[in-house]
Amino acid sequence: MKIVEKVFGQYHEESVIEYTLVNDSGMSVSCLNYGCIITKILVPDRNGKIENVVLGFEQFEDYLDLSPYFGAVCGRVAGRINHAKFELDGEVYQLTPNEDPNHLHGGKKGFNSVIWKTEHVETENAVGLKFFYRSVNGEEGYPGNLDTTATYLLNNQNELSISYEARTDQKTIVNLTNHSYFNLSGNLKRDVSEHILQMESNRFLELGSDLIPTGKMIDATNTPFDFRHGRLLQSGMKSAYPQNVLAGGGYDHPLLFTKKGENTVILSDKESGRTLFVTTDQPCVVLYTSNQLEGPFSISGVRARNHLGVCLETQGLPDAINQPDFPTIVLNPEEVYHAVTKYRFFSNTIGV
């Protein structure tokens, strides 16, 4: 196992470094100190052919100008916050309305768009990186100085682990996720419409026209949101179900795990033979099938189009601070925010 470094670009007179974690099993993960962005994940298909299975750019400038959060850590709070404001202990905090009138993925200067301090991690069983960032009191409108650590570890079982820790000196809110777009076909040969998703979830959050949860939890039974026995993603992309239509022809929804504790999401592509197990301690996963990706640009030589990737954003429930019935995302000074998600790749498939 090893770590390889190269200069990827410059940002505000600081070097943007691309780190590549390489294991002994034919897998590598490349990521930047800018936004903790995962630029590539190379894994073998059923025939041993190693290809990239996430969406990313070859040039750093494209991440500044074009990226819809490809591979990045989103924070302080992932997802949308209604009308870019919330209340804590009677005080109203106004955030940056970067998706006017709402706040999205931490604002204009979210965790996805800053340089993180970085150090190597090497253990007997894994190689990785620790990223550090201090979000100062008032940044994007959030209260408190927040010190955040994101740790990426790759082992020889083709498993990438992402763990977060955060501490604050003032009551605040935190909800972190990684926003990688997966495509298991390899090197974007096909879109993800024939990918199969399976997970133990019997409810999802209803979205309003602004794509913010209404607060209502809907029973997934007999809907395109029931993935308990495996379902092709295209079943939602082509569905006339109102929530799929609202999202732009597909999914952009928080799916709630049936049980508390550790849960697994299984994504597979039959043609390549690749399967991804995503295991997390978070209460939900936001399933996004890149319904708004079409544009006049290319992604690693492939023209951008809708449904070219699928995001599995493990996190707390979006807009939880404005929804009293959702689990809290409030962090107190005496507490430590902690979250872990693991991504393990195999060369086999599940059936529908």
Q: What is the pLDDT of residue 19?
A: 98
Which amino acid is residue 272, in one-letter code? S
pLDDT computed for residue 26 by the predictor:
87
Per-residue model confidence as pLDDT tens digits over 31-42: 999 999 999 999
pLDDT of residue 348: 75
pLDDT surpassing 80 at residue 225: yes
Q: What is the pLDDT of residue 229?
A: 97
The predicted pLDDT at position 122 comes to 95
Catalytic residue among 103, 105, 179, 307: 179
Q: Residue 350 has what pLDDT?
A: 46
pLDDT band with cut points at 50, 70 and 90 for residue 174: very high
**Of all helices (H) and strands (E), which one includes residue 150?**
strand 146-155
- Residues of the chain with pLDDT > 90, as a percent, come to 98
Question: pLDDT band at 289, cuts 50/70/90?
Answer: very high
> Given a cut of 90, is residue 352 above it in pLDDT?
no
| 313 is known as an active-site residue | yes
3-state secondary structure (DSSP) of residue 39? strand
Whether residue 351 lies inside any domain: the answer is no
- The proportion of the chain whose per-residue pLDDT surpasses 70, expressed as a percent, equals 99
Instruction: Tell me, yes or no, whether 228 lies in a domain.
Output: yes
Mean pLDDT (whole number) for 273-296: 97
Q: Residue 94 domain-assigned?
A: yes
Taking 70 as the threshold, does the pLDDT of residue 196 lie above it?
A: yes
Determine the pLDDT at residue 53: 98
pLDDT tens per residue across span 198-215: 999 999 999 999 999 999
pLDDT at 351 over 50: no
Confidence category of residue 118, pLDDT binned at 50, 70, 90: very high
Question: Is residue 314 one of the residues assigned to a domain?
Answer: yes
Residue 286 pLDDT exceeds 70: yes
Give me the mean pLDDT over the 174-179 stretch: 98
The domain in which residue 305 lies consists of 2-346
pLDDT per residue over 33-74, tens digit each? Answer: 999 999 999 999 999 999 999 999 999 999 999 999 999 999
Residue 242 backbone phi and psi in degrees, to 5: -55, -40
d(CA 142, CA 275): 38
In 3D space, the residue among 254, 250, 251, 225 whose CA is nearest the CA of residue 318 turns out to be 254
Catalytic residue among 18, 139, 159, 313: 313
* pLDDT beyond 60 at 325: yes
Question: What b-and-e string marks burial along 72-103, b requiring 16 or more CB atoms within 10 Å of the CB?
Answer: bbbbbbbbbbbbbbbeeeeeebebbbbeeebb
* The token pair that represents 22 in the structure block: 């390489």
> Mean pLDDT throughout 246-269?
97
Give catalytic status of residue 120 as yes or no. Answer: no
Where residue 138 falls (left for φ over 0; alpha for ψ -120 to 50; beta otherwise) is left
| Radius of gyration of the chain from its Cα atoms, rounded to whole angstroms | 19
Domain total in the chain: 1
Whether 352 is covered by a domain: the verdict is no
Type of residue found at 41: I
What local confidence, expressed as pLDDT, does residue 315 receive? 98
Checking if the pLDDT of 349 tops 80, the result is no
In a domain, 292, yes or no: yes
Element (H or E) spanning 234, and its range? helix 234-237
The amino acid occupying position 224 is P
Q: What is the mean pLDDT of the chain?
A: 97
- What CATH number is attached to the domain comprising 138? 2.70.98.10
Region label for 26, one of left (φ > 0), alpha (ψ between -120 and 50) or beta (otherwise) = left
103 within domain boundaries: yes
3-state secondary structure of 45: coil
**Mean pLDDT (whole number) for 81-86:** 98
Mapping DSSP to helix (H, G, I), strand (E, B) and coil, where does residue 27 land? coil
Domain for residue 218, yes or no? Answer: yes
| Cβ–Cβ under 8 Å, residues 146 and 138 | no
